Amino acid sequence: MTITEKIMALNSGRDKVVPGQLVWVDVHSIMTMDYLGEQCFKQFRSLGVNEVFDKERVICVSDHLVPPPNEQFATMLNRWRQIVKEHEIAYFYDLGRQGIAHQIMVEQGHVLPGKVSIGTDSHANTYGAVGAVGNAIGVTDAAVAMATGKCWFRVPESVKFVIKGTWQPYVMAKDLSLHIMGMMHWNGHLIYKTLEFTGEAIEALDMAGRMTLCNMTVDLGAKNGIVAPDAVTQAYLSGVAKGDWEMIASDPDAHYDAVYEVDVTNVGPTVALPDKLDDTVPVEKVVGRKFNKAFVGTCTNGRVEDFAVMAEILEGKQIHRDVNMIVVPASQAVYLEALKRGYLQTLVEAGAAIDTPSCAACAGIHTGVAGDGDIVLSAGNRNMKGRMGSKNAQIYLTSPAVVAASAIRGEITDPRETGTY
Q: What is the pLDDT of residues 309-339, one digit of tens each?
A: 999 999 999 999 999 999 999 999 999 999 9
Question: 3-262: what fold?
Answer: Aconitase; domain 3 (3.30.499)
Q: Rounded mean pLDDT of 255-284?
A: 97
Mean pLDDT across the stretch 172-201? 95
What's the pLDDT score for residue 409? Answer: 97
On the question of pLDDT at 56 being above 90, the answer is yes
Mean pLDDT of the chain: 96
- H helix intervals, 189-294: 200-203, 207-215, 231-237
pTM of the model: 0.97
Q: How many helices (H) and strands (E) does the chain have?
A: 14, 18
Q: How many CA atoms lie less than 13 Å away from 418 in the CB half-sphere? A: 28
Question: Which amino acid, one-letter code, is at 102?
Answer: H
Cβ atoms of 358 and 332 closer than 8 Å:
no
Burial (CB count within 10 angstroms: exposed 0-12, middle 13-18, buried 19+), residue 254: middle
Is beta strand 92-93 parallel, antiparallel or unpaired with respect to 194-198? unpaired
Q: What is the pLDDT of residue 331?
A: 98
Which pLDDT score, from 0 to 100, does residue 237 have? 97
Q: Which ranges of 136-263 does DSSP label H, i.e. alpha helix? A: 139-148, 173-184, 200-203, 207-215, 231-237
214, 106 contact by CB (below 8 A): no
* Residue 118, φ and ψ in degrees, nearest 5: -130, 160
Per-residue confidence (pLDDT) for residue 419, from 0 to 100: 60
Peptide bond between residue 67 and the one before it cis (omega within 30 degrees of 0)? yes
CATH code at 270-417: 3.30.499.10
Closest CA to 74 of 405, 366, 330: 366
Question: CA-CA distance, 89 to 60, in Å (whole number)?
Answer: 7
Distances in whole angstroms, Cα of residue 116 to Cα of each of 102, 130, 277, 359: 14, 11, 28, 24
- Strands 353-354 and 324-327, by their bridges, are parallel
* Percentage of the chain exceeding pLDDT 70: 99
359-368 in b/e form (b: 16+ CB < 10 A) is: bbbbbbbbbb
What is the per-residue pLDDT across 35-53, written as a single tens digit (0 to 9) for each? 999 999 999 999 999 999 9
Give yes or no on whether 3-262 and 270-417 have one common fold. Answer: yes
Whether the per-residue pLDDT at 170 is higher than 70: the answer is: yes
Average pLDDT over residues 88-96: 97
Name 79's Cβ contacts closer than 8 Å, sequence gap at least 6.
38
What distance lies between CA 237 and its chain's CA centroid? Answer: 18
Angle between helices 400-409 and 304-314 (to 10 degrees): 30
421 pLDDT above the threshold of 80: no
pLDDT of residue 78: 97
Rounded Cα distance, 302 and 212, in Å: 10
Cβ pair 417, 405 in contact under 8 A: yes
Query: Is 212 within 8 Å of 300 (Cβ atoms)?
Result: yes
CA 164 to chain centre: 23
| pLDDT tens profile 225-264 | 999 999 999 999 999 999 999 999 999 999 999 999 999 9
Angle between helices 304-314 and 343-350 (to 10 degrees): 50
pLDDT, residue 367, reads: 85
> What is the DSSP secondary structure assignment for residue 219, as one 8-state letter?
G
Of 8, 24, 28, 25, the residue nearest 16 (C-alpha): 8
Is the per-residue pLDDT at 340 higher than 50? yes
Q: Parse the chain into domains and list their residue ranges.
A: 3-262, 270-417
**What is the three-class DSSP state of 419?**
coil
